[in-house]
Chain A
Amino acid sequence: MFYKKKRLFILMISLIIIVGLIGFSLRERTDLTIIEDFIHDSAGWAQEVINKPIAFTTGVANNIKEIRNVYRENQQLKSSLDEIRQLEYENQELTKEIDELKEVLDKSESDFLQNFEAIQASVIARSKDQWFKQITINKGTQDGVQPNMSVITGKGMIGKVQTSSPFTSTVLLLNGFDRTNRISVNVYEEDKETDSSGFIVGYDEESELLLLEMNDNDKDLEEGQYVFSSGLGGIFPKGLEIGEVVDVEADRYELTSIAHVKPSADLEELNHVIVIDRSMTTVDEIEEVEEQTEEDES
């Protein structure tokens, strides 16, 4: 009799603890507890060790596959080299001009939305449950990675830092974004002087495309146009490539247009990523710093 009661008691207690834990972790939070930081880092260290031989083998297999295409690619690359030389020259001239203009305006580096510092990182694991679109990278707060920084590859943006521990961080991929973490973007339209603006509001699982909601009913929006971050959201710097418009439709009330955007970066195969530290400080960050100094003083 007593034995049965004891077992029931343990069962109830553990159920309550689990429900409590789920409730605790479901809150929107960017700061982890010390225990979580510790587990993240020690698991991350082991992951890095185990990942090396596996990444090496898959790398060799991919290289063999790629060798077959080398000749054809080489021809294409040669032809595009000339164009790039031209572009490079233009780029140099423009940078010089911008630098001069900046001096005239008397603004510092951190006053521009485009400026950022890059932190190189490698992917060491992916969430084992694919309902969570997150990857683990091998750089943490010790290397300057903070929550909410944007993460890119050479091809385009892939997501943002969700949480960071001292030596590892988790990155939320673009296909896990929802309305609570949307991105303010510009669409580049060739024959217009100003870019049209909008928001990436989420990800469509079925078509595997991002949903772009324009701020107004834009008639010039069409497929093939490129989508860049506008830097106005307070988190991402300006000018990171996000994707290409695939199709456009009006929303239910025909007030705004909604477009589907194909992400430029391949979200499935990620090995090396770059974390972007925006130079310009936002109002929130300034307030935070002020609060901290006040606390220190008192």
Chain B
Amino acid sequence: MKRMIPFLIALICFLLVILEGTLTQVSLPILKDEWINVSHFLFIFLLYVTIFFEKESTYYAIALSIIFSMIIDIVYTDVIGVYVFAYTAVLYAARVLMKLLQSNFLIALLMTTVGVVVTDILIFFLYNIIQVHVDSWSIYWQNRLIPTGIWNIIFGLLIYLIFAKKLTKWSYIKFERAD
């Protein structure tokens, strides 16, 4: 069990990456046409791994982020490297911040909100630099940033309900229980 835990987390990451693409294919009638909601489920899950699972000396979230955001880049986009950079950089910042903060529900919610917004803005600027899109800032934040933020916070709460307790438990089994 102890050795299996990182692989279990990796499997969940893979499923979330797949789900991101499948859910984009489903169009929900409540959403307006010009709204763009981009799913950052992998990022949110790794954020919770950082908050609830990680110890000072381990780098699971960072390593998983590099592997699976590379898969996102290859499968869903033409450009390799943008998601890798955005996810990993923000996760590293979150890791540094978590040394000062406690892990509880409010902190998790706050980190999700700030993290998703910062990541998406970072992706916006990187894609703007390499000319993937030419949207202006005002169009971007109205049509993409706000819907993306709300969409991801809703799913963040869902992921929190399912995994927060489990991750804390897994962390205990992995690092503290002697057997």
Contact = CB atoms under 8 A, between A and B. Distances in A.
Interface of A: 18-19, 21-22, 24-26, 36, 39-40, 43, 46-47, 50-51, 54, 58, 123-132, 134-136, 162, 268-269
Contact of B80 (A24, A47, A136): A24
Contact of A26 (B19, B36, B85, B130): B130
B74 A128 contact: no
B79 A125 contact: no
B19 A50 contact: yes
A129 B25 contact: no
A233 B37 CA distance: 35
B26 A58 contact: yes
Interface residues of B, number: 35
B76 A127 contact: yes
Contacts, number: 93
B58 interface: no
Given A18-B84, A46-B14, A268-B27, A125 B21 contact: yes
Closest 10 pairs between A and B when the two form their complex, measured CB to CB:
A125-B21, A21-B81, A22-B81, A25-B80, A128-B20, A126-B24, A127-B76, A126-B25, A18-B81, A131-B133
Contacts of B79: 22, 25-26
A41 to B, nearest CB: 10
Nearest to B131: A26
A88 to B, nearest CB: 35
A39 B71 contact: yes
Contacts of A268: 27
Interface in B34-70: 36, 38-39
Interface of B: 14-15, 17-27, 36, 38-39, 71-82, 84-85, 123, 127, 130, 132-133
Contacts of A125: 18, 21-22, 24-25, 75-76
Contacts of A47: 18, 21-22
A124 B74 CA distance: 16
A43 B19 CA distance: 11
A50 to B, nearest CB: 5
Contacts of B81: 18-19, 21-22, 25
A128 B21 contact: yes
Contacts of A269: 27
Nearest to A28: B78
A129 B84 contact: no
Query: Counting chain B CB atoms within 10 Å of each CB, which of A19, A54, A127, A134 scores highest?
Result: A127
12 contacts: A22-B130, A26-B78, A40-B75, A43-B18, A50-B15, A50-B19, A50-B22, A125-B21, A129-B123, A130-B24, A134-B78, A268-B27
B74 A39 contact: yes
Per DSSP, chain B at the interface is: helix
A291 B27 CA distance: 46
Query: Counting chain A CB atoms within 10 Å of each CB, which of B22, B80, B82, B132 scores highest?
Result: B22
A130 B39 CA distance: 10
B84 A43 contact: no
A24 B84 CA distance: 15
Nearest to B88: A14
Contacts of A129: 38, 76-77, 123
Given A25-B80, A25-B81, A128-B72, A43 B17 contact: yes
Contacts of A25: 73, 78-81
Given A25-B79, A50-B18, A18 B132 contact: no
A46 B18 contact: yes
Given A18-B84, A46-B14, A132 B22 contact: no
B132 A132 contact: yes
B7 to A, nearest CB: 16
B30 to A, nearest CB: 13
A124 B19 CA distance: 11
A46 B68 CA distance: 14
A222 to B, nearest CB: 27
Contacts of B123: 129
A19 B82 CA distance: 9
Given A127-B24, A127-B76, A269-B27, 13 more contacts: A18-B84, A26-B79, A26-B130, A46-B15, A54-B23, A124-B22, A125-B18, A126-B24, A129-B38, A129-B77, A131-B132, A136-B75, A268-B27
A268 B26 CA distance: 9
